[in-house]
Amino acid sequence: MKLIETPIPDLFIVEPKVFEDSRGYFLESYSKKLFAENGIDSYFVQDNESKSTKGVLRGLHYQLAPYAQTKLIRVIHGRILDVVVDIRKGSPTFGKHFALELSGDNKQQLFIPKGFAHGFSVLSDYVIVNYKCDALYYPNSERGLLFNDPDLSIDWRIDLEQAIISAKDKVNPPLSKADINFIYGQR
């Protein structure tokens, strides 16, 4: 397994080593030791799983500090475009987004530290997404960014006119009006 830096500080692609043979495959999907060796001290307390159909768009979600969540996103089956937005005040990449196609085939994962809004669009007929969190869900701290905020210019790679989006996600504020309390460099 290796961690690959992205253009956004502290955000990593996790690429597992996959051992395949006639029986199938084996991979290590998480290693606390590897993360610690790379200065990542997250302690995951919960695993979540979702199933979604083609055209679903979820996000962009986050929880305010002190209930913020670090996440490790992985696709078990299907394909998504995973998108994160840096919402850490003072970050050199504040307001910038990063997108990566995650799939059951490429087996890549995305490590998302606190201070990022997260969402994904479903590119396959259906998808099963698994993600680890280092904090529990805290409804009073839940926030979101508008998925089609023109200042973010995110290409979700789906038809947004036909996208399946929750009522809650349709009314999230743009980044310029969002409630955020993350400071770059603070963990």
The catalytic residue positions are: 61, 131
What size, in residues, is the chain?
Answer: 187
CA atoms of 30 and 176, how far apart (whole Å): 35
Q: What are phi and psi of 145, to 5 degrees?
A: -115, 150
Residue pair 170/60 in contact (Cβ under 8 Å)? The answer is no
Count other Cβ atoms within 10 Å, centred on residue 67.
Answer: 16
Residue pair 119/113 in contact (Cβ under 8 Å)? The answer is no
Residue pair 92/1 in contact (Cβ under 8 Å)? The answer is no
Half-sphere exposure of 146 (CA within 13 A, CB side): 13
Q: In terms of DSSP H, where are the helices of the chain?
A: 32-37, 167-170
